[in-house]
Chains A and B, each alone.
Chain A
Amino acid sequence: MRLPDSVTGSFLVVLGAAAAYGGWRLPPVPGQPVGPNVFPLVIGTGLALCGLAIVFGIGHSFEEEEELIPVEEGQARAAPTGRFYGLRALLPPALLLFYVVAADRLGFIITAALIVLATSTALGAKWKLALPLAALAPIGIHLIFAKLLRVPLPAGLLPMPW
């Protein structure tokens, strides 16, 4: 997901301009010199200026120093094994959205089991490990959050006895 600075900088220019425009269109408070529009205008302008600075490489020289700091664990990348390898990173947010869509219909236990199964197999767990984990982890979490902390988790197709 490493994008060139020109791309991220341009995005920030557009975002800043949009924010400033959105702020400018907000209705002012009658009889008051400043309203809800001032802050977005200031932020939008600042963001757009930062974006421009990034596009032109200002401040980039500060980043090279970071190379002197030893990389943390987890930052050393494995060689990508395919064109779509990078898309694997989108699995966690996709699973969270799946939770939003499915939890009310399927219930917490089934949805959570599917999420655990998908995450652990994607991280390289064998079926021998992933299946028991998918069976036990949702029950444990349900016990803590629904039983002890009284969070209303949807029962769906598989209600828990407690």
Chain B
Amino acid sequence: MLNTLIEAFRLISTWEVIVAMFAASVYGLVIGSLPGLSATMATALLVPVTFYLSPIAAIATIVAASSMAIFSGDIPGALLRIPGTPASAAYADEAYAMTMKGEAELALGAGVWFSAVGGIAGVVSLMALAPPLAEIALSFSTFEYFWLALLGLMCATLVARSSPVKAIAGMFIGLLVSCIGIENPGGVPRFTFGLTDLLGGIEPIPALVGVFAVAQVMRAMLTPEPPPIPRRKFGSIMAGQWTLTKKYHWQMTRGNIIGIIIGVLPGAGADMAAWVSYAMSKRFSKEPEKFGTGHVEGLVEAGASNNASIASGWVPSLLFGIPGDTIAAIAIGVLYMKGLNPGPTLFTEKASSMYAIYLMFIIANILMIPLGIAMIRIAAYVLRAPRSTVMPVIMLCCAVGSFAIGNNMFGVVTVAAFGVIGYVMEANGYPVAAMVLGIVMGTMVEQAFVTSLIKSDGSILPFFERPVAAILAAMAIGALLWPVMLWIWRKVKPAQTTSAAAAR
């Protein structure tokens, strides 16, 4: 254990890792703070750069950029009432109300401090949960993997803030995309329409860049420019945070726990964690009437929650290759590319790399405090950059980055196509995150499904025979039928639901 830890320290204490981590942190802070550019987009645009880094440095950039971007989304939320990332949208109104009351320092300080604390709580959960789960996972056969993957896909659709039917449809579209190519049980070209470019299938990363970056540029074409940020001088940012920690320690802990649980659920990321925690904070607060008027309590809980979910989202990713959220989906792609194939054996065969990932998370969250404070101080300058200068650069990065993934122009075509698909889906209420998970997990689901069917000689029964498989199957089928039951319930008691919704 100690030897592994020393080895992990040695892995991360190279210049390459240190520089990569610092640069990615600054990059993540800047992208996260620009309204409309999400943490997922920041991470997706980083992928081409990670090709040219060592495995540990590549993971370091993903870890640092995603953690920083989730925090820095709070900055324009507090100063402009425009959340930088969707995860900050839950409490942007509250933070802005505090700014209006002259408490901008306290709101932003709470953002940076409780984000860092939440992030570290998330790493602790990753360290505590992953090894025992890996033990269990080692005894899994393809039957369990099939149900687990299906359960992951179903969770992703359940938690989407949209119609569950549309979310399931989004997931199927993703699975259909993953069918393209010759990587299938028969090794025959499938849905390639005679195009050689499609033989290798659709790579998840260009699809992600298209869905999250190009679609965002497309939306920017039709939406008005956000107002410029007013210049202001900030006082001490960390003042009063210790008092808040003592006063709201229970809220902070609850936020951390909710964040960890939501992070572990496949498909539900920081956005969901922030929304749920903020609602929870208001529900259980002793002074709920203060919410919305510039009250820091909800900020503490939601800020702690969204960063906690980032690290815990890596638990299912590292163990099973099932992404906890879209950022983890990108991380899985990078892990595969770097030969650190996700799976329980990662913990036994590449233990030092695992410890290195834990350490990098901790360092990123500590680094968040000084860098976050610096970012808050210079935010006025960064946020004044007009969208018409940022978006063209994003476009260039999309083009060059997608080309760099395979050194071929087909990547650029893929990015453009998925930009349109993502834009149309989002505009019509189909959650794109469900599609992304479908693309990432499709091959795995099919492999587990077909291998299991071959093993069982075409019989369905063995899918339910092993005890763990039976439990997972019950959960997956329950998740599939849950929207149907809810729908029937609502049809039966429409009046009751309407009044409940009104009360919320």
Q: Are A89 and B176 in contact (CB under 8 A)?
A: no
Is A59 engaged at the interface, CB distance under 8 Å to the other chain? yes
Identify B190's interface contact among A36, A93, A133, CB under 8 A: A36
Residues on A with C-beta less than 8 A from B428 are 1-3, 5, 8
Closest to B221 in A: A88
B65 to chain A, nearest CB (A): 16
Q: Are A40 and B179 in contact (CB under 8 A)?
A: yes
Q: Are B161 and A77 in contact (CB under 8 A)?
A: no
Identify B83's interface contact among A15, A73, A78, A90, CB under 8 A: A73
Residues on B with C-beta less than 8 A from A35 are 185-186
How far does the alpha carbon of A49 sit from the alpha carbon of B10 in the complex, in Å?
54
Identify A92's interface contact among B36, B221, B275, B401, CB under 8 A: B221
Residues on B with C-beta less than 8 A from A19 are 176, 179, 191
B77 to chain A, nearest CB (A): 9
Interface string of A107-119 (1 = CB under 8 A from B): 0100010011101
Closest to B275 in A: A69
Residues on A with C-beta less than 8 A from B255 are none
How far does the alpha carbon of A134 sit from the alpha carbon of B399 in the complex, in Å?
15
Chain B 128-173 residues near chain A, CB threshold 8 A: 161-166, 168-169, 172-173
Residues on A with C-beta less than 8 A from B220 are 74, 123
Q: Are B413 and A89 in contact (CB under 8 A)?
A: no
Chain B 442-469 residues near chain A, CB threshold 8 A: 446, 449-450, 453-454, 457-458
Closest to A123 in B: B388
A65 to chain B, nearest CB (A): 7
Interface centre among B161, B388, B404 (most CB of A within 10 A): B388
Interface segment, one of B223-231, B256-264, B295-303, B375-383: B223-231
Interface segment, one of B1-9, B315-323, B331-339, B415-423: B415-423
Is B207 engaged at the interface, CB distance under 8 Å to the other chain? no
Closest to A86 in B: B222
Q: Are A96 and B416 in contact (CB under 8 A)?
A: yes
Q: Are B223 and A78 in contact (CB under 8 A)?
A: yes
Q: Are B176 and A28 in contact (CB under 8 A)?
A: no
Q: Are B83 and A28 in contact (CB under 8 A)?
A: no
Residues on B with C-beta less than 8 A from A43 are 172, 175-176, 179
Closest to A92 in B: B217
How far does the alpha carbon of A100 sit from the alpha carbon of B501 in the complex, in Å?
50
B309 to chain A, nearest CB (A): 18
Is A155 engaged at the interface, CB distance under 8 Å to the other chain? no
B57 to chain A, nearest CB (A): 13
- Given A58-B165, A62-B162, A123-B220, CB of A40 within 8 Å of CB of B190: yes
How far does the alpha carbon of A129 sit from the alpha carbon of B407 in the complex, in Å?
32
Residues on B with C-beta less than 8 A from A69 are 89, 161, 275
Q: Are A36 and B185 in contact (CB under 8 A)?
A: yes
Residues on A with C-beta less than 8 A from B430 are 8
Is A22 engaged at the interface, CB distance under 8 Å to the other chain? yes
Q: Are A99 and B221 in contact (CB under 8 A)?
A: no
- Given A39-B446, A58-B165, A97-B413, CB of A73 within 8 Å of CB of B424: no
Closest to B165 in A: A59
How far does the alpha carbon of A78 sit from the alpha carbon of B224 in the complex, in Å?
6
Residues on B with C-beta less than 8 A from A162 are none
Is A50 engaged at the interface, CB distance under 8 Å to the other chain? yes
Residues on B with C-beta less than 8 A from A95 are 395
Identify B403's interface contact among A3, A29, A151, CB under 8 A: A151
- Given contacts A8-B430, A89-B218, 20 further A-B pairs with CB under 8 A are A3-B424, A19-B176, A34-B185, A40-B190, A40-B191, A43-B175, A46-B168, A61-B487, A65-B501, A75-B223, A76-B223, A86-B222, A92-B214, A96-B398, A96-B413, A97-B412, A97-B416, A121-B388, A141-B393, A145-B404
Q: Write the residues of chain A forming the contact surface with B, with a CB cutoff of 8 angstroms.
A: 1-3, 5, 8, 12, 15-16, 19, 22-23, 26-29, 32-40, 43-44, 46-47, 50-51, 53-54, 58-63, 65-66, 68-70, 72-78, 80, 85-86, 88-97, 99-100, 103, 108, 112, 115-117, 119-125, 129-130, 133-134, 137-138, 141, 145, 148-153
Q: Which 5 A-B pairs have the closest CB atoms?
A: A125-B388, A59-B165, A33-B458, A36-B186, A123-B388
